[in-house]
Amino acid sequence: MSTLAIEEVEDKARAAKAAAQVLATAGTTVKNAALLAMAEALGCQSEEVLAANALDIAGATERGLSPHSIERLTLSPKRIAEMQTGLRQVAALPDPIGAVLSGWRRPNGLQITKTRVPLGVIGIIFESRPNVTVDAAALCLKSGNAALLRGGSEAIHSNIALARALGGALESVGLPRACVQLIESTDRAAAKRLMTLNGFVDCLIPRGGASLIKAVVETATVPVIETGTGNCHVYVDKDADSEMASAIILNAKVQRPSVCNSAETLLVHKDIAETFLPLVGAALVKAGVEIRGDAVTRALLPTANPAEEEDWLTEYNALILAVKVVDSLEDAVAHIAQYGTRHSEAIITENYAAAQAFTDGVDCAAVYVNASTRFTDGFEFGFGAEIGISNQKLHARGPMGLEELTTYKYVVRGDGQIRG
Amino acid sequence: MSTLAIEEVEDKARAAKAAAQVLATAGTTVKNAALLAMAEALGCQSEEVLAANALDIAGATERGLSPHSIERLTLSPKRIAEMQTGLRQVAALPDPIGAVLSGWRRPNGLQITKTRVPLGVIGIIFESRPNVTVDAAALCLKSGNAALLRGGSEAIHSNIALARALGGALESVGLPRACVQLIESTDRAAAKRLMTLNGFVDCLIPRGGASLIKAVVETATVPVIETGTGNCHVYVDKDADSEMASAIILNAKVQRPSVCNSAETLLVHKDIAETFLPLVGAALVKAGVEIRGDAVTRALLPTANPAEEEDWLTEYNALILAVKVVDSLEDAVAHIAQYGTRHSEAIITENYAAAQAFTDGVDCAAVYVNASTRFTDGFEFGFGAEIGISNQKLHARGPMGLEELTTYKYVVRGDGQIRG
């Protein structure tokens, strides 16, 4: 079993590398035609996809998966229509490939042009949501990359049906099926082999929970982009507009608590705590948020539970908010440096110098002044797409759209130059 | 021993992280002052450095290291002066930090600015050349990064003396000593710990031979930039100027055969082979190059040795050249795709379409038309510095200067925006 799994991954990686060479010089027209054909194919084959999905749901129900997990797994005509829309939207985005990023002439006459090219083969390891098969395939294809997809075992029938539809669409426009491949083996050995295919996989992106990402980071020898964990803070400065601060922390905590750009800790300057905390506390409690506060917070909000050291480190992804009163902006910055995950951090202030000090001093992917952390998102940033949010500093930071799935090459034109 | 080694690395990593926070907002003036003070300190402490180096050389001689290895290890007043010049040159380079890479306004009024910031803590694992301690420290410092350096055990006394001089210089301008730290333990456990310090090391760059790089890529869980291996090709098209082609292949092979951007394989179009190969063959043999050719090559160059499959894969780093006659440009591109390491590849041609097809079709860091592969170098590209040549596609590709040691953060300015 495990040998077969490894063979499958190696065969598909070889095919992906060959397909990536074709894709690297494929024009925008054919890539867009493929994306539109993929949307078409999903429509034509929606019955097969839904039948396969029903098998997955039955299996998941039998194995006693949580209703939440089954919900994430479930496809419907509406969700298929959403995937189709997504494919058409990616087709409508500008092609990132071929852009000249910079260029210059050297004293010896060499003309150097830094040109955007695809990464090559992108591996994506994801969990149960089958729509990732389609979304990831679309973004990889548009950016000229071959995709090697490995989804969760609970969605395997759905993913196979989706990948079959996409593969047929690729062939219909004359592109190799291997531009988008699903690893069908659900053996762990297959995932492990994918993580160590140096020379074949140019970039591996894990999409899922913290344990999946940790496993990939620890096992992979190919370059990885770590995504995901967000222990985000909102700092309310002494010079904040209380109404604005309250609206922003409520939005950052409550609007969608399960995602990485939601806020987990509120830091409040001591000079504003006495007036601000009761105001925001009432609004948070009304919205069903459990507050875990330090001693000063609890003195002002008697219903708050005590915050332990662990709370400052926790990404709740739930309606819980840790609250701490700090002595200064510097203390807030230091707290964020100690406990944050360098994802998204916000200051609420009317003070110019405080805004500058916070944006300069906080190290994270996206630092906000007077706005919700919830905007860290490829669509909200205007990228038109998102493959994930990078939590590392190498290659890409924050929301990753099409450009973040590319690299560059230097084209150097000469007329006989040799090095002296 | 090994526990102490691990403790040393962890303590220094913590200190590096704190120093990186200071450096992130340090101005250009203080960073340049530090670089000039470092140059000064090397001058003042050159006797101590040379005495420490003498200990290393004595040790290396005792252990029977090769004359070549001892040469790489040896410092001299001239080499110290070169390191000083290097520091002053880095001080004179523009500061990459704070540049605004792009910026835009969203329909909801959010103003997004993508701003260049340091990576944070950069780990460098290198082999015997002690000047890397100084070069790497200079580039990391100028780009606002704390450096954690781990050199080869054979240069440990030299490295300690150099790092002491640099540390004093940092303190003299008010920067933390921990901006530049040397791991003094030569225990393997220390290197291993450095490779797995996720959350502390933002980027790890191995500098050295293939086995060092392989070990780092396989062991590290922190983000790595793979450097180094170059199996570079020169393809002489049927429409090449033979004189130019001969001069370029000679330069690419002979000028400095030990480096990664030298050529290892010559591919010659069959239509030009009969006239070109005897011409270039005579020049190569005269320069002391051993030619290993395929059957067609050997028919035209009877003194050539036979090339085995292994030869197409080998980075000789020596005066040996593999030579193959190909049927077409497409065959040349396919050969390079199969055997190349995506470093530097050149075509020699007077034909416009051939130049375009080659530069589009070959996937590598630097692709040349009518120029030597030897130009893949930070200085030759005009970067004014080089920390290494990236052999991967993620983050940086090809020569890495100061800009390649940075990342970015998004600064998002609002006036109360919340997500709907």
Tell me the per-residue pLDDT of A248-258, one tens digit each, with 9 for 90 and over.
999 999 999 98
Are A251 and B418 an interchain contact pair (Cβ–Cβ within 8 Å)?
A: yes
Predicted local confidence at residue B228, as pLDDT: 77
Please name the member of A24, A221, A366 whose beta carbon is closest to the beta carbon of B217. A221
* pLDDT on residue A34: 98
pLDDT higher than 60, residue B1: no
Chain B CB contacts of A393 below 8 Å: 119-120, 202-203, 223, 407
Domain-by-domain residue ranges, chain A?
2-227+399-413, 232-375
Could you report the per-residue pLDDT of B278-298, keeping only the tens digit for each?
A: 999 999 999 999 999 999 999
Tell me how long chain B is. Answer: 420
DSSP helix/strand/coil, B223: coil
User: How far does chain B reach from its first CA to its final CA, in angstroms?
Assistant: 57
Mean pLDDT of all residues in A85-101 = 97
Contacts of B22 (CB under 8 A, 6+ apart): B175, B176, B179
Burial class (CB in 10 A: 0-12, 13-18, 19+), A53: buried
Q: Answer whether A164's CB lies under 8 Å from A41's CB.
A: no
Q: CB-CB: which of B106, B250, B368 is closest to A412?
A: B368
Q: Which of A116, A336, A356, A363 to mutate to test the interface with B (most CBs of B within 10 A)?
A: A363
Strand order in the sheet with A121-126: A180-182, A146-150, A121-126, A203-207
> Is 3.40.605.10 the CATH classification of the domain at B2-227+398-413?
yes
Query: Which residue from B106, B420, B120, B409 is spatially nearest to A368, judged by alpha carbons?
Result: B409
Which of B25, B248, B417 shows the shortest C-beta gap to A418?
B248
CATH number of A2-227+399-413: 3.40.605.10
For the cut 70, the answer to whether the pLDDT of residue B34 exceeds it is: yes
DSSP secondary structure letters along A122-160: EEEEE-S-THHHHHHHHHHHHTT-EEEEE--GGGHHHHH
CA distance A82 to A72: 14
Residue B241 and residue A416: Cβ atoms within 8 Å? yes
Dihedral sign computed on CA atoms, order A72, A75, A76, A79: positive
CA-angle at A12, arms to A9 and A15, nearest 5°:
150
User: How close does chain B come to A55, measured CA to CA in Å?
Assistant: 36
> What share of chain A has pLDDT > 90, as a percent?
93
Task: Please give the residue of chain A at the shortest CA–CA distance from B365.
Answer: A409
What number does CATH give the domain B232-375? 3.40.309.10
Q: Kindly state the percentage of chain B with pLDDT values over 90.
A: 93
* pLDDT of res. B209: 83
**Average pLDDT of span A237-264:** 96
Among candidate residues A372, A368, A366, A370, the one with its CA nearest the CA of residue A349: A370
Question: pLDDT at residue A1 above 60?
Answer: no
Looking at per-residue confidence, does B175 or A212 come out higher? B175
Q: Is the pLDDT of residue B376 over 80?
A: yes
Contact A34, A170 (CB under 8 A): yes
The distance of Cα A286 from the centroid of its chain, to the nearest Å, equals 31
Pairing of strands A203-207, A344-348: unpaired
Query: Considering chain B, what is the average pLDDT of its residues?
Result: 96
pLDDT score, position A208: 85
Mean pLDDT for B147-176 is 97
Mean per-residue pLDDT, B155-165: 97
Mean pLDDT across chain A: 96
pLDDT at A159: 97
Strands A344-348 and A232-236: parallel
User: Tens digits of per-residue pLDDT, B115-159?
Assistant: 999 999 999 999 888 999 999 999 999 999 999 999 999 999 999
Average pLDDT score over residue span B255-274: 96
Cβ-contact A266, A236 below 8 angstroms = yes
Give the residue-averaged pLDDT of A169-183: 98
Which of B345, B375, B377, B390 has the most A C-beta neighbours within 10 Å, making it the best mutation to test the interface with A? B375
Residues A399 and A375 sit within 8 Å (Cβ to Cβ): no
C-alpha dihedral, B232 to B238 to B239 to B243, nearest 10°: 60
Is the pLDDT assigned to residue A228 strictly greater than 80?
A: no
B90: pLDDT strictly greater than 70? yes
**B217/A198 touch (CB, cutoff 8 Å), yes or no:** yes
Question: With contacts defined as CB-CB under 8 Å, which chain A residues touch B368?
Answer: 412-414
